[in-house]
Amino acid sequence: MGSLLIKNGTVVTATDKYRADVYVEGETVAIIGAQLEVSADREIDASDCYLFPGGIDAHTHMELPFMGTHASDTFASGTLAGLHGGTTTIIDFAIQTQGESLEAAIREWHKKADGHAVGDYAFHCAVTDFNDSTRQELVHVINEHGINSFKVFMAYKGALMVDDRQMYELMQALVSLGGIVTAHTENGDMIDSNIQKNLQAGNTAPKYHVLSRPALCEAEAAGRAIDIAYQTGCAFYIVHTTCEETLARVRAAMSRNQKVHVETCIQYLLLDDSYYFKAGFEGAKVVMSPPLRKKKDQDALWAAINQNLVQHVATDHCPFCMDQKAMGKDDFSKIPNGAPGIENRFELLYSEGVGKGRIGLNKFVEMSSTGAAKIFGLFPRKGTIAVGSDADIVIFDPQAKHTISAETHHMNVDYNAYEGWQVRGKTRTTILRGTVAIDNGEALVGEGFGKYLKRPPFNPLH
């Protein structure tokens, strides 16, 4: 591999910002200093650029089998698109099939990813069927597979949803084993009822997706999971938080000295539910769960980020092409849920966040990378630029402008919800473990370059 010297950049971490040269030896950062006088196999000038830790997206679904089809990005295409946009590591979900083992799911996801992923990857384990047998597997999953985070779905009854007892007992089991529970918090019962009611009334258009999933359904489930977590003492993380109502539940829990981890996604910060009301089938592009919310919710989420209440901005990347979306042409409930995002998240968060004065540079790094790395045990290997850490470095030109388009993006999907958005700030070069993976839009690594990342048990004082 050799060595690499990145000169004249401005290193930014979740805490720091300083001008320095970064010297990489092999896969890791070896020296950081002012005007280093070392020779390297390769030198890159990063003048006028930021050096950010490689982005981490803790919420993706590559090749997800869902509603009779598969998410259109494979681990190969999806992680490569991520690298183009500055994301070097993902955490995808190995999802248990009800009636089968966690082991089987993890094996299946390894089959999809191993030898294919271009970027690095780890897995959360999604528990959809918690029983005595599943309980037995936890130790092995944590200690052997290096997976410390277990997701439950509070929606999608009959397919993915667990009941409160399963969630409660999973949390109890994980307290001593060193696991954290993450949850999709929507009240599946209420939503299923709304969907059926709408369909019976002949309400089939995409807008009925959002009309079937009110914010209160999300907040209720979030509050319930927070209560159950409190009762057990288990660490808890809400995935893809969308709204003020859910934040209110998190805040209320603080009064009893509870700590809740919160993730939101880039789309909830930037898009709103008016999208569902566009003419024709346009709304299908943002059919995802939970759905997009109101402007006031965007404000609340940005504020929550600055209040240190949110730890991560992910994507829930789960793209489906328009012909897949078309499965729900006559029935919104058959539109595959999900949208692309992995390639745009990092740059959009910079452009709309830092660029528009909503967040600072360190907060940008924390949200795009460090926060997730710490919670999920990737830190300090990932999530920072520091001596000894993996040299996952994004050389970012804050002045470069570009326009988002499905024509030019690298995700394997034929639309982009941000089509035409002007973005200021661009990933010029992406370095993964010391190797230049992307340079000026050209991919220099290929299928199988990505490595699987084992993670240690959860540490509440990360």
Residues that bind a copy of itself (CB under 8 A): 11, 13-20, 23, 30-34, 36, 163-165, 168-169, 187, 189-190, 192-193, 214, 216-217, 219-220, 223-224, 227-228, 230-231, 248, 251-252, 254-255, 257-259, 299-300, 303-304, 306-309, 357, 359-361, 363, 370, 380, 384, 386-389, 459-462
- Which of 418, 390, 392 has the alpha carbon at shortest distance from 405? 418
Q: Which is nearer to a copy of itself, 118 or 373 (CB)?
A: 373
- Interhelix angle 188-200/215-232, rounded to 10 degrees, is 160
Q: Which is nearer to a copy of itself, 252 or 322 (CB)?
A: 252
Q: Which is nearer to a copy of itself, 221 or 287 (CB)?
A: 221
State the virtual CA torsion across 26, 27, 28, 30 in degrees, nearest 10. Answer: 10
Minimum distance from residue 266 beta carbon to a copy of itself (Å): 19
Quote the CA–CA distance of 30 and 388 in Å, as a whole number: 6
Q: Let me know if 68 is exposed, middle or buried by CB neighbors in 10 A (0-12, 13-18, 19+).
A: exposed
Question: Is the separation of the CB atoms in 392 and 48 below 8 Å?
Answer: no
Element holding 164 (H helix, E strand): helix 164-177
Q: Which is nearer to a copy of itself, 14 or 318 (CB)?
A: 14
- Which of 344, 267, 257, 252 has the alpha carbon at shortest distance from 301? 267
CB-CB neighbours of 85 under 10 Å:
26
Q: Which is nearer to a copy of itself, 230 or 281 (CB)?
A: 230
Minimum distance from residue 307 beta carbon to a copy of itself (Å): 5
Minimum distance from residue 322 beta carbon to a copy of itself (Å): 32
Residues 234, 248, 91, 439: is their CA dihedral positive or negative?
Answer: negative
Minimum distance from residue 230 beta carbon to a copy of itself (Å): 7
Minimum distance from residue 102 beta carbon to a copy of itself (Å): 20
Q: Which is nearer to a copy of itself, 34 or 279 (CB)?
A: 34
Q: Which two tokens stand for residue 174?
A: 């994980």
φ/ψ bin of 448: left (φ > 0), alpha (ψ from -120 to 50), beta (otherwise): left
Minimum distance from residue 85 beta carbon to a copy of itself (Å): 23
Residue type, 132: D
Minimum distance from residue 215 beta carbon to a copy of itself (Å): 10
Q: Which is nearer to a copy of itself, 38 or 322 (CB)?
A: 38
Peptide bond connecting 380 to the previous residue in cis, omega within 30 degrees of 0: yes
Q: Which is nearer to a copy of itself, 139 or 387 (CB)?
A: 387
Backbone angles phi, psi at 131, to 5 degrees: -145, -175
Quote the CA–CA distance of 79 and 413 in Å, as a whole number: 14
Question: Is the separation of the CB atoms in 85 and 345 below 8 Å?
Answer: yes
Residue 279 contacts by C-beta under 8 Å, 6 or more apart in sequence? none
Q: Which is nearer to a copy of itself, 214 or 328 (CB)?
A: 214
Minimum distance from residue 94 beta carbon to a copy of itself (Å): 25
Minimum distance from residue 7 beta carbon to a copy of itself (Å): 13
CB-CB neighbours of 331 under 10 Å:
15
Could you tell me how far CA 376 lies from the centroid of its own chain?
A: 12
